[in-house]
């Protein structure tokens, strides 16, 4: 198999020309599991500046994962100030946020409340990967309520309803009774920037059981024991809902502007969950001229995979498709007018780290990688090439296999009780064994993706091409195994920070420079790839001739693309 490396001129996704002022900029901020990142993006969609800042995490006990909203906001301020250094900030037109789907708890005065037995109010976020609410989610699933049809038939412990129920049943006095606001983390950030408590449709539809067509279902919340929200007309969790990219209130408040180093009043967009921002940033790529199955087909033939700590598999359709074990269908949750199905794997990058760092040969690996000024994964990839001999790398694991559900199975089995497994271990624990275990783990993750694709296609999706972004997409072995095991071409963007580009796209839409997220994406899909220099073409053709793999770069000339934003 092979994968396609999609390269766009200047390393960015082109935004269509239109009425933008010359020199307009947009800022995208992405809050991930372990860090906050920001980017400055110009009106052509080219990333001009990047900064990141680590954020704190607490794990007070098994399956409890917590963060601090104050720490995260402080990190947002650091990275945003860094990326706008050296430019005229008055040229910044819009700001967009994305973040993990973690639960932020504030009191009636918007102060942090503890989500832990220790009473530490700094730790006021239950992270997305927190599995403390296992008992609660089992009870919710036993109700068989109709809203569960839109989460693959079984609610995940990683969604917000079971976490809210856990807080009510376990921290009644110190948290629940004092709470005034429960935010998804993306919505907390947009509130912090604007003072507007409106929620993003993406957050509420994907993680809170809100329906884009019908709104909240009173009977569900009453049935699971959270009738409190119905009684106050959902004020604490959101009774004003806006589509992603919509402009919030009067824009950036003076206080937030001072914090972030940006001009007061610039447009701030209704946000996206981080994986959905990645999907937005990559799914509209132009791949014409390379004989891909998705060429000339609708965008619904594409599957965006956002792969980092975990992996999310984003497929869209014009009509709702119900896939057992796969979340959705969610209307307009990522791209307006399209239904979204979201498969996922709860731990992927985290699982690879766990397997590699827990091996007896890890200290040796770390030392040898440092001596070569390489990451441990670049070293492992090179080491696999050394030990494979004449056979393909993939066959090194003929006797070693991994079942990857170390943190339960999100899709398509939707079983949080599943555990991981390794079979075929030997007594040896040298560097070769570590490299092969690493390979087997990557292959197991790719097989998980294949199972998700098979479930989606059995339900009615027609997927022909994979579009990868996120940290793991920078690992060529991870990408290659996905191509080999799914049997599908994999498209990469030269701009590896697709999630940040997605966040910046939101800011661009909020600024009024584009009519909507959808119109912007449709323009991206209609881009013309003319006037390529013949010299570049010859170089591209030569680079596609590789054994086992075909890297086929697609050059795109910014001056050759034109599209109205109307």
Residue 386: domain span: 296-488
Q: Is residue 503 part of a domain?
A: no
Confidence (pLDDT) at 292: 82
Number of domains in the chain: 2
User: Which position has the higher pLDDT, 123 or 22?
Assistant: 123
Distance of CA 123 to the CA centre of its chain: 23
Query: Over the chain, what is the mean pLDDT?
Result: 88
Q: What is the pLDDT of residues 308-364, one digit of tens each?
A: 999 999 999 999 999 999 999 999 999 889 999 999 999 999 999 999 999 999 999
CB 207 within 8 A of CB 101: yes
527 pLDDT more than 50 = no
Distance CA 289, CA 185 (A): 40
Task: Identify the band that residue 558 occupies on the pLDDT scale cut at 50, 70 and 90.
Answer: very low
| 258 inside domain | yes
Asked if 262 contacts 96 with a C-beta cutoff of 8 angstroms, the reply is no
Confidence of residue 518 (pLDDT cuts 50, 70, 90): low
Domain closes at, from 469, 488, 507 = 488
Domain boundary among 458, 488, 518: 488
Q: Is residue 317 part of a domain?
A: yes
Q: What is the pLDDT of residue 516?
A: 61
pLDDT in tens, 184-213: 999 999 999 999 999 999 999 999 999 999
Q: Given this model, what pLDDT does residue 546 score?
A: 23
Given a cut of 80, whether residue 528 has pLDDT beyond it is no
Residue 504 forms part of a structural domain: no
CA angle 423, 425, 431 (to 5 degrees): 130
* Residue 515: pLDDT over 70: no
The yes-or-no verdict on residue 11 having pLDDT over 80 is no
Q: Are residues 36 and 132 in the same domain?
A: yes
The pLDDT, as a whole number, for residue 545 is 18
pLDDT of residue 336: 87
Q: For the packed helices 134-142 and 160-170, what is the interaxial angle rounded to 10 degrees?
A: 120
The Cα–Cα gap between 338 and 336 comes to 6
- Does residue 223 sit in the same domain as residue 181? yes
Domain CATH for 8: 3.30.420.40
The pLDDT-based confidence of 16 (bands split at 50, 70, 90) is very low
Q: State the pLDDT confidence band at 531, using cuts at 50, 70 and 90.
A: very low
pLDDT at 20 (0 to 100): 43
Give the whole-angstrom CA distance, residue 358 versus residue 435: 13
Cβ neighbours of residue 326 under 8 Å, at least 6 residues apart? 152, 313, 341, 342, 343, 411, 412, 452, 455, 456, 459
Give a yes or no: residue 462 inside a domain: yes
Judgement on whether residues 176 and 302 belong to the same structural domain of the protein: no
For residue 513, the model assigns a pLDDT of: 86
CB neighbours (10 Å) of residue 74? 14
Q: Are strands 267-268 and 272-273 parallel, antiparallel or unpaired?
A: unpaired
Contact 478, 356 (CB under 8 A): no
In the chain, % of residues over pLDDT 90: 80
| Residues 117 and 229 placed together within one structural domain of the fold | yes
Q: Are residues 131 and 45 in the same domain?
A: yes
Co-location of 28 and 168 in the same domain: yes
Please, which residues bridge with residue 42 across strands? 25
Which CA distances in Å does 493 have to 144, 257, 284, 285, 480?
Answer: 41, 32, 11, 8, 15
Please check whether residue 307 lies inside any domain of the structure. Answer: yes
Comparing 10-19, 258-267, 495-504, the range with the smallest average pLDDT is: 10-19
Is residue 279 situated within a structural domain?
Answer: no
Q: How confident is the model at residue 287 (pLDDT cuts 50, 70, 90)?
A: confident
pLDDT band with cut points at 50, 70 and 90 for residue 284: confident
Q: Does 262 share its domain with 301?
A: no
Q: Would you state the pLDDT for residue 520?
A: 61
220 and 306 assigned to the same domain: no
pLDDT in tens, 460-498: 999 999 999 999 999 999 999 999 999 999 999 877 788
Residue 200 confidence (pLDDT): 98
Q: How does pLDDT run across 416-439, given as a tens digit for each residue?
A: 999 999 999 999 999 999 999 999
pLDDT higher than threshold 90 for residue 127:
yes
Domain check: are 266 and 407 in the same one?
Answer: no
Do 235 and 270 belong together in one domain? yes
Residue 493: what pLDDT? 81
Q: What is the pTM of this model?
A: 0.87
Average pLDDT over residues 368-379: 98
Would you state the pLDDT for residue 88?
Answer: 95
Report the range out of 482-486, 524-528, 550-554 with the highest average pLDDT. Answer: 482-486
In a domain, 290, yes or no: no
Same domain assignment for residues 83 and 189: yes
- From 488, 520, 540, the end of a domain falls on 488
HEC string for 454-514 = HHHHHHCCCCCEEEEECHHHHCHHHHHHHHHHHCCCEEEECCCCHHHHHHHHHHHHHCCCC
pLDDT tens profile 137-184:
999 999 999 999 999 999 999 999 999 999 999 999 999 999 999 999
- Regarding whether 134 and 44 lie in a shared domain, the answer is yes
Asked if residue 47 lies in contact with residue 39, where contact means CB atoms within 8 angstroms, the answer is yes
């Amino acid at each position: 198999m092979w994968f396609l490396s999609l390269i766009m001129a200047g390393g960015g996704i082109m935004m269509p020309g239109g009425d933008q002022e010359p020199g307009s900029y947009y800022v995208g901020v992405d809050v991930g599991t372990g860090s906050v990142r920001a980017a400055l993006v110009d009106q052509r969609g080219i990333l001009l500046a990047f900064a990141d800042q680590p954020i704190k995490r607490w794990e007070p006990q098994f399956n409890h994962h917590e963060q601090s909203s104050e720490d995260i906001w402080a990190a947002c301020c650091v990275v945003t100030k860094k990326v706008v250094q050296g430019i005229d900030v008055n040229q910044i037109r819009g700001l967009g946020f994305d973040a993990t789907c973690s639960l932020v708890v504030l009191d009636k005065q918007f102060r942090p409340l503890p989500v832990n037995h220790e009473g530490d109010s700094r730790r006021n976020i239950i992270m997305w990967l927190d599995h403390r609410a296992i008992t609660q989610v089992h009870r919710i699933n036993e109700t068989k309520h109709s809203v569960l049809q839109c989460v693959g038939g079984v609610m995940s412990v990683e969604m917000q309803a079971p976490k809210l129920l856990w807080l009510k049943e376990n921290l009644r006095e110190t948290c629940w009774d004092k709470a005034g606001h429960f935010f998804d983390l993306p919505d907390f950030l947009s509130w912090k920037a604007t003072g507007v408590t409106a929620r993003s449709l993406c957050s509420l539809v994907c993680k809170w059981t809100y329906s884009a067509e019908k709104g909240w279902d009173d009977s569900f919340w009453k049935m699971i024991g959270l009738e409190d929200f119905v009684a106050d007309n959902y004020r604490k969790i959101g009774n004003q809902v806006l589509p992603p990219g919509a402009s919030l209130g009067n824009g950036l408040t003076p206080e937030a502007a001072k914090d972030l180093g940006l001009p007061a009043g610039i447009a701030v967009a209704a946000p996206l969950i981080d994986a959905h921002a990645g999907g937005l940033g990559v799914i509209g790529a132009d791949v014409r001229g390379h004989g891909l199955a998705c060429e000339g087909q609708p965008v619904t033939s594409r599957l965006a995979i956002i792969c980092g700590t975990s992996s999310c598999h984003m497929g869209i359709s014009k009509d709702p498709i119900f896939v057992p074990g796969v979340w959705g269908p969610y209307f307009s949750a990522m791209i307006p007018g399209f239904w979204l199905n979201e498969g996922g794997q709860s731990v992927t990058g985290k699982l690879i780290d766990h397997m590699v760092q827990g091996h007896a040969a890890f200290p040796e690996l770390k030392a040898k990688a440092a001596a070569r000024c390489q990451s441990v994964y670049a070293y492992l990839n090179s080491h696999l090439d050394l030990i494979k001999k004449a056979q393909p790398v993939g066959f090194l694991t003929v006797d070693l296999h991994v079942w990857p559900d170390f943190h339960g199975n999100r899709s398509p089995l939707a079983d949080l009780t599943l555990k991981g497994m390794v079979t075929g271990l030997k007594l040896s624990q040298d560097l070769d064994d570590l490299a092969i275990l690493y390979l087997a783990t990557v292959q197991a993750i790719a097989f998980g993706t294949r199972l998700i694709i098979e479930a989606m296609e059995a339900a009615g999706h027609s997927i022909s091409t994979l579009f990868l972004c996120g940290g793991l997409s920078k690992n060529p072995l991870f990408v290659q195994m996905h191509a080999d095991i799914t049997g599908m071409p994999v498209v990469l963007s030269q701009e590896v920070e697709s999630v940040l580009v997605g966040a910046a796209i939101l800011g661009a839409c909020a600024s009024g420079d584009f009519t909507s997220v959808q119109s912007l994406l449709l323009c991206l899909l209609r881009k013309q790839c003319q006037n390529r220099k013949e010299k570049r073409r010859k170089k591209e053709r030569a680079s596609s001739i590789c054994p086992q793999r075909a890297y086929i770069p697609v050059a795109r000339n910014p001056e050759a693309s034109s599209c109205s934003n109307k």
